[in-house]
Amino acid sequence: MRAWADVLQSLGARTLGVLRGLGRAAFFTAELLAAVPASLRRFGLVVRQVHAVGNLSLVIILASGTAVGFVLALQMYYALVTYGATESLGLIVNLSLVRELGPVVTALLFAGRAGTSLTAEIGLMKAGEQLAAMEMMAVDPKSRILAPRFLAGIVSMPLLAILFSAVGILGAYVVAVLLIGVDAGNFWSIMQARVDVWRDVGNGIVKSFVFGVICTVVALYQGHETEATPEGVAYATTRTVVISSLGVLAMDFVLTALMFSTP
Amino acid sequence: MSKRNVEIMVGLFVLLGMAGLVFLALKAANLASFGARDGYTVTARFDNIGGLKPRSPVRSAGVTVGRVKTIALDAKTFEGVVTMELDSGVRFPRDSSAKILTAGLLGDQYIGIEPGASEQDLAAGGQIRQTQSAVVLENLIGQLVTGKAAEAADQAGEKK
């Protein structure tokens, strides 16, 4: 009887813990959004954060995009050459990059490259009681520290995803047209005939915007809620990557179902 | 890094992103083929439009000369009314005919226009009178099967 009660209690405690976490995250997001207008007045802070979050992620995004374009083109070529449809290679690479891989891989890399640094930075600020000190001085850390980083994240992510897709397509062009010898005219014209700006490119950008919100909010929340110890910051950084990645993948499925379920 | 340098770098980053967007929209998607071109519309009525879609190409001698604009069903005659936009530089004779054709064996469907011999050109908003519907694979197979069956029946009759 006693053992059953223990099991029940731990189940209940765990459920309450999860709900409490969700509630805190929701309140945190609401407060973050409320702090955004105030941070727009100090636009220099946002620009500085775009540099930290966007510019410094550029190298890994461009390198990954090119590599993904290379291998996509190679693999698709081997599959398509069996059916004599190698001209469609550009189309397949373009659609898979613009609709799915661009936004998703960029978001995963962003969580690893920029999300972790945001969490560690905010976490250490909290551990060093800098956030508390700002509150003491009647400076709102949400509008001074968190909101500029949030804005920088949601501005940078779509730009990075666009660049990822663009260099991916150029990478596929290099492999398919310059190395393998697919006809350049067909490569571009079939792509242009079948890729729609609003439906494909536009929805891809909407996706990357949503992923930008997810990754930045998760990173900031984990940093803000971290335990003020070295281990706490380490765990928070790990959780940022895990939660943002899972969130992005789950959200991607929902968005794809909403955007592309009709042919 | 000084504030000015940071801002310059961010400006470059945003500019690069915009350039990527322009590349995706113009070079890798169909924005360039929208609007811009001025043309005139003609209509054609088909018994069956098959897999034709808005924005399917209109070709003459294999050269794309326009695109399908809208497809509607005439509720009185139950024909598919296809409105297409043709390049203004290309004028077809009034007795030209339109067919719905398929690119390759299983490819996309498009409208093929065969020019007629009339002296007068098709006016803007005019209608192509002679049309040939899309070939529906099931009907074709149906004809083949009934044809074979009739043949077999004939042969059976001869044997008796």
Per-residue pLDDT of chain A (263 residues; tens, 9 = 90+): 788 999 999 999 999 999 999 999 999 999 999 999 988 888 889 999 999 999 999 999 999 999 999 999 999 999 988 887 888 898 999 999 999 999 999 999 999 999 999 999 999 999 989 999 999 999 889 999 999 999 999 999 999 999 999 999 999 999 999 999 888 878 888 888 788 888 899 999 999 999 999 999 999 999 999 998 989 999 999 999 999 999 999 999 999 999 988 76
Rounded CA-CA distance A47/A53 in Å is: 10
A162 and B24: CB-CB below 8 Å?
yes
Q: Which residues pair with B98 in a beta bridge?
A: B113, B131
| Secondary structure, 3-state, B107-150 | CCEEEEEECCCCCCECCCCCEECEEECCCCHHHHHHHHHHHHHH
Nearest to A197 among B3, B6, B29 (CB): B29
Q: For residue A70, with 0-12 CB atoms within 10 Å meaning exposed, 13-18 middle and 19 or more buried, which class applies? A: middle
A166 and B20: CB-CB below 8 Å?
yes
What is the tens place of the pLDDT at every residue in B34-65?
A: 544 578 889 999 888 887 877 788 888 888 88
What is the tens place of the pLDDT at every residue in B81-109?
A: 999 888 888 888 888 899 888 876 666 78
What is the tens place of the pLDDT at every residue in A24-74?
A: 999 999 999 999 998 888 888 999 999 999 999 999 999 999 999 999 999
Tokens of B39: 């043309």
- Chain A environment of B9 (Cβ under 8 Å): 51, 55
- State the nearest Cα–Cα gap between A19 and chain B, in angstroms: 39
- The DSSP letter of residue B36 is -
Rounded CA-CA distance A55/A156 in Å is: 8
Please, are residues B109 and B101 in contact by the beta-carbon 8 Å criterion?
yes
Interface test with A, best of B2, B10, B14, B55 (most A CBs within 10 A): B10
ipTM: 0.84
Q: What is the pLDDT of residue B37?
A: 59
Nearest to A163 among B10, B16, B32 (CB): B16
What SS3 state is found at B54?
A: coil
Whether A188 has its CB under 8 Å from any CB of chain B: the answer is yes
Rounded CA-CA distance A182/A192 in Å is: 16
Whether A115 has its CB under 8 Å from any CB of chain B: the answer is no
A165 and B20: CB-CB below 8 Å?
yes
B17 and A201: CB-CB below 8 Å?
no
Interface test with B, best of A42, A43, A47, A209 (most B CBs within 10 A): A47
In chain B, the percentage of residues whose pLDDT exceeds 90 is: 12
Nearest to B13 among A58, A158, A191 (CB): A58
- Give the nearest chain B residue to A92 (CA atoms): B28
B10 and A58: CB-CB below 8 Å?
no
Rounded CA-CA distance A193/A91 in Å is: 9
Whether A55 has its CB under 8 Å from any CB of chain B: the answer is yes
